Each structure stands twice: as structure tokens, then as C-alpha cells.
């Protein structure tokens, strides 16, 4: 079901995207396609432009050139945000005022019901999303009482609350303990089995590796690899792979693909 | 209870209740965005409006509303677009507003420093029939916005970037929060004064947070706290000859201390319960990696 078929229509189509932060070019002609049902990982070192690429797809970073289409519609004219679930790069789901997990996840439903009361169906979708990330028994707890991994699970539940067809996640595994990583991987597996397309920024493949159909590797704002996911450590054939051997004396243990 | 027979006391109590409701209702969103001191800035800017009102011989309340709205929209635009030195721009706006107010009020024939101080520190006993009408209309607007749009304002204040991706009109909602905060400042101006207005927006929310776990509970508890301290402060100032604004703020801080003391045993019990229920998060962020990374799951 989740197997990529090249003929399927693209849900994300980025062509020759260029973007700059201040005077510094961050994207220098990026092509990126995610087809329906595909799971694509965006990999690269810090500062390679992977977060900027994802944030330009959802309209948070303006492009200086190139085009982006979401579900075949030019991004500037795209309004159907309920089809997109977004997980921003965050270390916390908390803010200046206490809020429960249910309250935070409910705001993900705004893309389906922008104004007016939440219906029974809306509330059921919120409960389902909380259940999917394994926090059902804590729905009434304040998010400030959660661990780092649980924060990330709340952010993902918030994205799932709109029952999206496309999930865009920026480093969902950053700072997540192993137990939560496994839960996130199984949540994602269920979504993908149900036909959801996924674009996610990762620092390393980790427990998500078996799910990933294709990997796109960025370096200095350019795509240097687009194909099957490179196998983690042991495979040094990746272009631009400046891997630090984890056992090298004096070096900190690095486990990323491109460290 | 003979004070309820006095017309000026009726007006004072009504104004106090309206402020007790509106100030925390807006303040909660400012605290959520970590802009707790925004109300203070708007208060400074509103000074120019009061001065203008005196100079042009029009109602200081409406003039202050107008200027505060313009000022808060300016602050929001600086926050949204001015990436660098936003704090300096805000400082200019605050102190410019304050200085403008003092200057204008001294230029006007009817204004004096005594008049000014009634706006700086509040003057409940001089609240007129027209003031009450203005305060009532403005308070209705604030309640309508903060309660009616709570889901949307919560989302925008919680995570602006995420809110934008849900398709919410984030810029418009941010401006609405700024305008509502400005309106609240002028509502509260006659009761607690421009210099203490921010306290009533922030302290009840801070107090409520000590006990609450949810946004909804924080909201309700903050408004209840707001009404309680404004009423208590007004009544106290009737029996003892003390300034109502300062009394109200000190009561609010008293409630904060009280709830903090109450919350300590509660937090301990919660921590113990969480400890008992914890299963997996033995390692906090970031967790240790497995020794070899090529393990397939």
C-alpha cells in the first residue's frame, strides 16, 4: 500500500526552489517531490537547508525563485490546510499559561473547523489523535508536566487531529527518548498504512528507517542524493558524506548520517 | 451596606467588576505569548491620548482608547516585522507616549497634574455616567473577543507558526489581541490607573496558574480572582481612605501569594503521583543512543 509508484500524483512538488535568509542563500535550486502514499526523509547536516526547505513548503519562508505545489495547486493559492498536518521543530509544546494535552491537540482541529463550536466528530478526532500517540490516559494533564519525548508526541497528535493526507514533520525525533521514538515510529507506521504521505526532516534514520521509501539529502542548499535511503553507518558511498567514525578516539559519539 | 445607595459608589463598583473581568481575560493571552509587560507599554502610550483629550476638550476615555489602539497596533507591527532592535523601538514608543501625555496635559487649559494623576493611579470616585457608558461598551467588546474567539486566540498565542499552517488569519488575530489589550487598558484606566493597569492583566493570571492545569481553568480562575480583588479593593477604599488602584493591585498580589502557598503541597502530591505512574522516560532530553546505529527495527 505504501510502496511508491512513480506514476502516482505528487502531493508536494518543489521545482528549482531558491531561498535566502538575509543575504545568505539557503536553498540553491532544490527539486523535491513527494507522491501520494510515499514517505520521504529529508536528510543533511546542520545548516544544509533542510528545515528551510520544509518551511518554504508550508509557506513560512518566502522563495526567491522556483515553484512549490501542494496537491497540484500553487502554494500561494493553496487554502486546503486541513489536508496538511504540520509538526514544527520544537522542544516543547508548552507556553506561558498551563494547557492540557487535549487543549493543545484540539488546536490542530482548527484547520477543519476554523470558527464555531467543536462538534462531536471534532472531539472524537482529537481523542483519536491523542490515543494514536499513546497519551490517552494523560489527556487531562498539563503539557508542562511531560518529558521531551512526550512533548513531541503531543505536537504530532496536534498535527494528526485534522486527519491529514500529508504529514510534514521537522525533526520529530530530536531530543526524544528511545521509548517515545518507538511509539512515534509505530504511530507513523499506522498513518502510512492508511495511505498518508509523509515528508520528514531527520538527522538520522533511527527506528523510522524501515518506513522510509526515499531519502533526499541536502548539502549547502543543493540536493546531493535522491533515491533509496542510504544505509546508516557502514555505507560510505553517499556523496558529500563526511562521516565521523563513532569509534575514533577523542571524537564524540556521532550517530548521524551526515554529521 | 449604605454605600450601595450612593450613586458614585454604584458606578465605582460597576466599573470595578467590568475591569475585574476584562483585564485578566485579555491578560491571559499576553501571558501565554510571554508578553506580560505589553499592557504596561500600552498604558504609557494611552497617556498621550488622555493629554489629547484634555487639550481638545473631548472625552479622555475615548481619546485614550483611540491613541492606545494606534499604539498597540504599532507595537504589534514592530513585533511582527521588525526583527532587529524591536525592543528599542518599543522603548521609544513607551516613553514618547508618556512624555507626550505630560506635555499635552500641561498645555491644555483645563488639565493639571492633579487631573493627570487621576488617570495615572485611577480615581474611582470621579467615574461619571458617561465614563460608565464608555467602559460598558468597551468591556462588552473585550468579553466578546476573548471568550468568543478563545480557540483561535489560544492557538495563535500557543504556537504562531502552527496556527498559520492551520490556515487561521494569524496577522488579523494578532492585531485583534493588540487592539483588545489597548481597549482593556482604557477600560481599566479609571479604576486602577494607567501605571498599574498591567498588574491587573498579569497578576490574576499568574495567581490562577499556581493551581490550574488547563487553559480553561486558568481563564476562569483568573477572572474570578480579578472580580474578587477589584470589588474588595473598591470596598476597602470606601471604608478606609486608601487609593483604590493600589489597594486592588496589592490584594491581587496577596491572592497570588496565597494560591502559591496552597499550591505547594498540591504540586508535591502531583509529583508523587507522576512518579508512581512513570514507566518509560528514565532518560530526559536528549536520550542516549543505542551503541550501534545500524540496528534495524
Taking contacts as CB-CB distances below 8 angstroms, the residues of chain A near B159 are 88, 90, 93, 95, 107
Residue A157 to residues A138, B34, B153, B191: CA-CA distances in angstroms? Answer: 13, 24, 20, 44
Task: Judge whether B293 lies within some domain.
Answer: no
Task: Judge whether B186 lies within some domain.
Answer: yes
How close is the nearest chain B Cα to the Cα of A107, in Å? 6
* Per-residue pLDDT at A8: 82
Domain that holds residue B122: 2-197
Name the residue ranges covered by the structural domains of chain A: 10-227
Residue with the bigger pLDDT between B117 and A151: it is A151
The pLDDT confidence band at residue A1, using thresholds 50, 70 and 90, is very low
Contact status, residue A44 vs residue A219, Cβ threshold 8 Å: yes
CB contact under 8 A, B31 and A98: no
Burial status of residue B260 (CB atoms within 10 A of its CB: 0-12, 13-18, 19 or more):
middle
Q: Does A236 touch chain B (CB under 8 A)?
A: no
C-alpha cell at position A193: 498504512
State how many domains chain B has.
1
* Per-residue pLDDT at A241: 46
Mean pLDDT split into 10-residue runs, chain B, 297 residues = 82 93 95 88 90 84 89 85 68 87 85 76 82 90 95 94 92 93 88 89 95 95 96 92 91 95 82 64 50 43
Q: What is the CATH number of the domain that holds B122?
A: 1.10.3470.10
The pLDDT confidence band at residue A108, using thresholds 50, 70 and 90, is very high
Cis omega before residue B286 (within 30°)? yes
Residue A27 has pLDDT above 60, yes or no: yes
Task: Judge whether B110 lies within some domain.
Answer: yes
Rounded CA gap, A181 and B31, in Å? Answer: 32
CB-nearest partner of B31 from A97, A179, A206: A97
pLDDT digits (tens, 9 = 90+) for B187-236: 888 888 888 889 999 999 999 999 999 999 999 999 999 999 999 999 99
CB-nearest partner of A99 from B214, B287, B297: B214
CB contact under 8 A, A140 and B214: yes
Q: Does A115 touch chain B (CB under 8 A)?
A: yes
CB contact under 8 A, B281 and A150: yes
Taking contacts as CB-CB distances below 8 angstroms, the residues of chain B near A180 are 280-281
* Per-residue pLDDT at B19: 93
Task: Judge whether B237 lies within some domain.
Answer: no
Q: In the beta sheet, which residues pair with residue A18? A: A28, A65
Fold designation for A10-227 = Rossmann fold (3.40.50)
pLDDT digits (tens, 9 = 90+) for B30-64: 999 888 888 888 999 998 998 888 888 777 888 88
Rounded CA gap, A238 and A224, in Å? Answer: 9
Task: Judge whether B247 lies within some domain.
Answer: no
Report pTM.
Answer: 0.84
Taking contacts as CB-CB distances below 8 angstroms, the residues of chain B near A97 are 28, 31-32, 205, 209, 215, 218
Taking contacts as CB-CB distances below 8 angstroms, the residues of chain B near A253 are 289
Residue A82 has pLDDT above 50, yes or no: yes
Task: Give the other-Cβ count within 10 Å of A35's Cβ.
Answer: 19
Q: Of A110, A123, A106, A195, which Cα lies nearest the Cα of A157?
A: A106
CB contact under 8 A, A103 and B214: yes
ipTM of the complex: 0.83
Closest chain A residue to the Cα of B215, Cα to Cα: A99
Amino acid at each position: 500500500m505504501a510502496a511508491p509508484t512513480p506514476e502516482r500524483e505528487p502531493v508536494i512538488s518543489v521545482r528549482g526552489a531558491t531561498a535566502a535568509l538575509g543575504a545568505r542563500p539557503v536553498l540553491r535550486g532544490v527539486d523535491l517531490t513527494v507522491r501520494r502514499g510515499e514517505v520521504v526523509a529529508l536528510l543533511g547536516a546542520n545548516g544544509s537547508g533542510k528545515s528551510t526547505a520544509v518551511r518554504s513548503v508550508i509557506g513560512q519562508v518566502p522563495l526567491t525563485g522556483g515553484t512549490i505545489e501542494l496537491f497540484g495547486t500553487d502554494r500561494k493559492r493553496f487554502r486546503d490546510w486541513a489536508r496538511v498536518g504540520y509538526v514544527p521543530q520544537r522542544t516543547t509544546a508548552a507556553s506561558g499559561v498551563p494547557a492540557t494535552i487535549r487543549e493543545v491537540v484540539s488546536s490542530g482541529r482548527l484547520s477543519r473547523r476554523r470558527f464555531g463550536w467543536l462538534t462531536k466528530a471534532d472531539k472524537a478526532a482529537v481523542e483519536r489523535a491523542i490515543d494514536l500517540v499513546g497519551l490517552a490516559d494523560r489527556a487531562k494533564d498539563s503539557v508542562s508536566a511531560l518529558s521531551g519525548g512526550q512533548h513531541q508526541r503531543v505536537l504530532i497528535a496536534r498535527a494528526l487531529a485534522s486527519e491529514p493526507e500529508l504529514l510534514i514533520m521537522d525533526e520529530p525525533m530530536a531530543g526524544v527518548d528511545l521509548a517515545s521514538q518507538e511509539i512515534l515510529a509505530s504511530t507513523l507506521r499506522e498513518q502510512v498504512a492508511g495511505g498518508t504521505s509523509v515528508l520528514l526532516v531527520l538527522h538520522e534514520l533511527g527506528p523510522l528507517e524501515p518506513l522510509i521509501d526515499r531519502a533526499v539529502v541536502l548539502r549547502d542548499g543543493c540536493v546531493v542524493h535522491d533515491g533509496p535511503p542510504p544505509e546508516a553507518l557502514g555505507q560510505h558511498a553517499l556523496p558529500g558524506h563526511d562521516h565521523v567514525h563513532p569509534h575514533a578516539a577523542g571524537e564524540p559519539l556521532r550517530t548521524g548520517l551526515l554529521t | 451596606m449604605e454605600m450601595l445607595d450612593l450613586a458614585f459608589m454604584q458606578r465605582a463598583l460597576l466599573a470595578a467588576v467590568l475591569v475585574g473581568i476584562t483585564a485578566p481575560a485579555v491578560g491571559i493571552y499576553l501571558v501565554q505569548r510571554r508578553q506580560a509587560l505589553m499592557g504596561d507599554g500600552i498604558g504609557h502610550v494611552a497617556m498621550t491620548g488622555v493629554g489629547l483629550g484634555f487639550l481638545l476638550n473631548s472625552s479622555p476615555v475615548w481619546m485614550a482608547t483611540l491613541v492606545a489602539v494606534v499604539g498597540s497596533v504599532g507595537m504589534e507591527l514592530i513585533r511582527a516585522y521588525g526583527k532587529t532592535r524591536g525592543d528599542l523601538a518599543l522603548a521609544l514608543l513607551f516613553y514618547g507616549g508618556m512624555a507626550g501625555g505630560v506635555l499635552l496635559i500641561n498645555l491644555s487649559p483645563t488639565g493639571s497634574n492633579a487631573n493627570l494623576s487621576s488617570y495615572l493611579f485611577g480615581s474611582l470616585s470621579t467615574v461619571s455616567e458617561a465614563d460608565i457608558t464608555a467602559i460598558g461598551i468597551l468591556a462588552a467588546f473585550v468579553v466578546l473577543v476573548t471568550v468568543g474567539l478563545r480557540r483561535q486566540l489560544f492557538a495563535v498565542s500557543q504556537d504562531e507558526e502552527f496556527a498559520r499552517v492551520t490556515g487561521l488569519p494569524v496577522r488579523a488575530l494578532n492585531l485583534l489581541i493588540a487592539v483588545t489589550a489597548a481597549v482593556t487598558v482604557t477600560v481599566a484606566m479609571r479604576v486602577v490607573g494607567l501605571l498599574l493597569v498591567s498588574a491587573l492583566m498579569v497578576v490574576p493570571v499568574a495567581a490562577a496558574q499556581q493551581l490550574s492545569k488547563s487553559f480553561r481553568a486558568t481563564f476562569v480562575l483568573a477572572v474570578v480572582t480579578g472580580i474578587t480583588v477589584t470589588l474588595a479593593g473598591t470596598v476597602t477604599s470606601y471604608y478606609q481612605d486608601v487609593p483604590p488602584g493600589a489597594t486592588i493591585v496589592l490584594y491581587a498580589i496577596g491572592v497570588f501569594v496565597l494560591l502559591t502557598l496552597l499550591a505547594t503541597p498540591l504540586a508535591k502530591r502531583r509529583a508523587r503521583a507522576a512518579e508512581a505512574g512513570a514507566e518509560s522516560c528514565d532518560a530526559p532530553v536528549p536520550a542516549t543512543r543505542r551503541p550501534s546505529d545500524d540496528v534495524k527495527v
